[in-house]
Structure 1
């Protein structure tokens, strides 16, 4: 299967690196945040007309939208979680968690999981907005989170080179996977829940068959430098990896065959590290250290 990709727009508005992207209720809208502390709302139909939703007094590495309330969960470095009403452009409440960076937020059912630089994954009860438990499985940073609804498991990637699997209901540690040779920056389950994919500082893209225990699958040297993020297309056909080597790479989700390398020279891509991707509104969105957000049209040919 051949694949085409075309950059159709670039959004500028951030004053520093962009680390976080999350979708809005409407597929043509999304939100971004980064080192400048600004949370900006964007509309794909109105290029480069971003709306400032909130200004956070520290870098933001993690942000997720809560579908049931529409609130944005924003992780403020060295502080905690702020819940922002993006329509009213005001903070609803906040919860102090840690004096370490917050690297990822994962919302599932009535729980929120927060990955912290002190190695703790804090579990928050969403209805009450209160801490339920601290998962202390490493002294090294917890960098990435993903939930598998099929098995009701939480995967957490750590800077101690491991991926740890927790039971979502009991919150007990089930498995420890010696996954990489350096920090694990990104973990994702495939849409069916049968495989876990991981990537990180060692630039390898790896797969694991979900089970008891997890079984190693493919191991691909995917990039020249660290893989910062990976995500599946909405239909589950493709995977995109974003790297510190300034490229996006698109892969066949089933075979992990490389389909396209997106760089500056060939596609007018990013000039610096690419930190995050998001699929929404029929588009692929990428965010970078270059302060820019690129919008891509991806399709089969």
Structure 2
């Protein structure tokens, strides 16, 4: 028996002056960060969401943020200008890491072992940085088309990278050896995420297909769903792992059952006064199970999911 999912819009956050491209968690469950085309990095408090706090400002657009809880740092991918390391306590840029002068689509931090930071670049490179010093260690090159998205599987110590050449490549995190190439998508792969138990990899992208891969079966494809009308921009799991949500260029957000892959809820403009343009990223907070979405319409929405 499927449990009915109720969705209520809590608030709309405004203040960004351009498309909002990314959302990222903070140390406390009620805080999150946003960034986008205006180069502003803003902290929001879900307990008092009206006023965002400016944490940093850069001169170009930002597609990617990554929070490092151990050190209270925020990594910011400044398109064409490399990686900025922000000390959140002082709101200062601690360090700028020069990288190839292209777009930065995703950043991932793997704290295990020596610690590494992976940066997905618009020229197809994945830059590997030292997790402590952020010095560039090496570059993984297996495509000349953009590396768009990154996911880490703690159980297998594997890194999944989605590319604009329609492929997903899976690497061993320590050796950086290429282990698998998954080639079912018919267009760019924009989002990859591992299930909380590490047994599945979910992927989506420009072909609007949500694909499911069995990690323990050498990434055999379990199947796919045509999940949206247009590009799937992002997939994220709920804090308890029982649901996941997808968002799309078709302006909608969808909530799914993580076990059965049944569609539970559609959040859109007509039914829920949702976004008027592409929904770019989701952040599902453990704070009252609230789902946060951001869009090309310059707004951020906060949803109560029951």
- TM-score range (shorter-chain normalised) is over 0.9
Q: Which 4+ residue blocks in structure 1 deviate beyond 3 angstroms?
A: none
Pick the aligned partner of 2:212 from 188, 207, 211. Answer: 207
Is the contact between residue 117 and residue 134 of structure 2 (CA under 8 Å) also seen in structure 1? no
Secondary structure of the residue aligned to 1:211 is helix
Give distance in 2, aligned partners of 1:211 and 1:250: 25
Q: Which residue of 2 aligns with 1:226?
A: 231
Could you report, residue by residue, the CA deviation over 1:245-276 in whole angstroms, capped at 9, with x for unpaired residues? 00000000111100001001111110000000
State the TM-score, normalized to the length of structure 1: 0.98
Give distance in 1, aligned partners of 2:293 and 2:201: 22
Q: Which residue of 2 aligns with 1:75?
A: 77
Could you report, residue by residue, the CA deviation over 1:60-95 in whole angstroms, capped at 9, with x for unpaired residues? 000011111111000000121001112211111110
How many equivalent residue pairs? 299
**1:211 shift after superposition:** 3.1
Secondary structure of the residue aligned to 1:269 is coil
Give distance in 2, aligned partners of 1:47 and 1:94: 30
Q: Which residue of 2 aligns with 1:25?
A: 27
**1:164 shift after superposition:** 0.2
Instruction: Check if 1:250 corresponds to 2:255.
Output: yes
Give distance in 2, aligned partners of 1:172 and 1:47: 44
Structure 1 residue runs of 5 or longer lacking an equivalent are none
**1:26 shift after superposition:** 1.1
Instruction: Check if 1:265 corresponds to 2:273.
Output: no
Q: Which residue of 1 aligns with 2:161?
A: 156
Could you report, residue by residue, the CA deviation over 1:205-231 in whole angstroms, capped at 9, with x for unpaired residues? 000001352100121000000000000
**1:123 shift after superposition:** 0.7
Could you report, residue by residue, the CA deviation over 1:6-55 in whole angstroms, capped at 9, with x for unpaired residues? 11111101000011111111111111000000000111111220111111
Could you report, residue by residue, the CA deviation over 1:75-131 in whole angstroms, capped at 9, with x for unpaired residues? 000121001112211111110111110000011111111000000001111112211
Instruction: Check if 1:297 corresponds to 2:304.
Output: yes
Q: Which residue of 2 aligns with 1:238?
A: 243
Q: Which residue of 2 aligns with 1:174?
A: 179
Is the contact between residue 13 and residue 48 of structure 1 (CA under 8 Å) also seen in structure 2? no
Is the contact between residue 203 and residue 212 of structure 2 (CA under 8 Å) also seen in structure 1? yes
Secondary structure of the residue aligned to 2:270 is helix
Please give the root-mean-square deviation of Cα atoms over the aligned residues, in Å. 0.8
Is the contact between residue 81 and residue 101 of structure 2 (CA under 8 Å) also seen in structure 1? yes
Is the contact between residue 233 and residue 279 of structure 2 (CA under 8 Å) also seen in structure 1? yes
Q: Which residue of 1 aligns with 2:151?
A: 146
Give distance in 1, aligned partners of 2:134 and 2:165: 29
Q: Which residue of 2 aligns with 1:277?
A: 282
Give distance in 1, aligned partners of 2:284 and 2:217: 31
Give distance in 2, aligned partners of 1:212 and 1:270: 38
